[in-house]
Structure 1
């Protein structure tokens, strides 16, 4: 979970392999995974929950095809489920912090409450804080990079070459995209309007890029 890799995807993966067709994976059923899934089902709207589950499925498929990583499915699952926890209207309004930073803190405390696994809590927190920290220099954890790749794939349509079209179709059939782009665009607008200092502003014209996403999922 704390393995460093280049933050720039083209450097981290200079020679991507042709992706393979993969089926939707079963969700992990460890006690902490069940607890976190039950929690987010109560906290997140259906479009956000489905987005999080798509991101999980993309992440596993891309790791299998493109990366030789020893990264637990449990850690990937929990990170994907919690990465937008602080993007709810209530959580955005409850803090002056950027949603990724607040979400990392909330997730850290939640994992410590239910598992007391310090390494897992810190790895998930780090990945969530940096999941919109896109760039061409520096390093990130493998968990953080796969979260970046999969979220920007679902939101804007980048990195589509890393995943097979049949995998995309199956995942998006299982976890509907209905309402997602408008939902996320509205969240971006809400945060940037109420917190003009927020980290989301580092992605230029982000709301417009989300709404203009024409990728074929």
Structure 2
């Protein structure tokens, strides 16, 4: 897979601006995407096991689709923009994997998540704190992740449903937002003239076949309605639309 060795560490938060000058990427298959990730899945296996424990199969498949969507989007992602700090490919992929696999811990019905004192917060922040605590406990003592890396992953999770129109997001944060958006609203409903520059429909379909949707849109819609009823000020309420429900 022909991708750069570094990417812009900060990118436009607006979906259209992010891909405005990108070329339409070629189809890329799941086998190639798995070659790109190298050892990241093994390196961060404790986080996969943590997500597997706390999340339903539906959420876990959603998280894995987001991850592989994000890897495919790297073909179109900004790189080596003058004056913009760079992040290495391997570093970015590691952060994206952790952000994607842990991003919906806040939707967990596992007793560990329910008993946490942040349960009454909006699910994105609740989940971000759960992820932050997990990352610090699992990787910080041995210096496998530093404070900055953990902060980027946790903040990306906390903001992953918020649609900003101006400013910059971290590369990991924007990849999580873009991939989760495409997975939840569906490729057909994603903004035209933008989605085609992010990822091909054939790539999306192949990833969906490997990690089935299993009625996710309907069930997510139900969960979102429940959240809006229980927490009208939850973050997702600021960017929700009827098509996601």
TM-score bucket (shorter structure): 0.7 to 0.9
* Residue 48 of structure 1, aligned match among 36, 55, 59: 59
Post-superposition offset of 1:203 = 1.8
Alignment of 1:165-180 (within 5 A): 165-180=201-216
Separation in 2 of the partners of 1:36 and 1:58? 19
Q: Would you say 1:79 and 2:114 are equivalent positions? A: no
Aligned equivalents of 2:175 and 2:166: distance in 1?
Answer: 16
Matching residue of 2:185 = 156
Match of residue 154 from structure 2? 125
CA deviation profile, 1:1-29 (whole Å, cap 9, x unmatched): 99322211222232121121112133633
Task: After superposition, give the CA deviation of every residue in 1:27-63 in whole Å (9 maximum; x if it has no partner).
Answer: 63333x1111111111111111111000000000001
CA–CA distance in structure 1, aligned partners of residues 64 and 105 of structure 2: 13
Residues 47, 183 of structure 1: 8 Å contact kept: no
- Secondary structure of the residue aligned to 1:196 is coil
Q: How many residues align structurally?
A: 208
Aligned: 1:188 with 2:224: yes
2:108 to 88, 97, 102: 88
Aligned to 1:135: 164
Hey, what's the Cα distance between the residues in 2 that align with 1:107 and 1:153? 22
TM-score when scaled to structure 2?
0.78
Unaligned runs of 5+ in 1: 212-217
1:58 and 2:69 are equivalent in the alignment: yes
Match of 1:145 in 2: 174
2:179 and 2:61 map into 1 onto residues whose CA distance is: 13
Contact 2:104 2:124 in 1 (8 A): yes
Cα root mean square deviation, aligned: 2.1
Q: Which moved more, 1:5-14 or 1:88-97?
A: 88-97
Tell me how far 1:92 sits from its aligned partner.
Answer: 6.5
**Structure 1, residues 165-195: CA drift from partner, whole Å, max 9, x if none?**
2211210110001121122112211211111
CA distance in structure 2 between the partners assigned to 1:160 and 1:93 by the alignment: 39
Q: How many Å separate the matches in 2 of 1:23 and 1:2?
A: 24
Match of 2:122 among 95, 98, 123: 98
Answer yes or no: is the 8 Å Cα contact 2:11–2:78 preserved in 1.
no
Residue 17 of structure 2 is aligned to residue 6 of structure 1: no
TM-score by structure 1 length?
Answer: 0.87
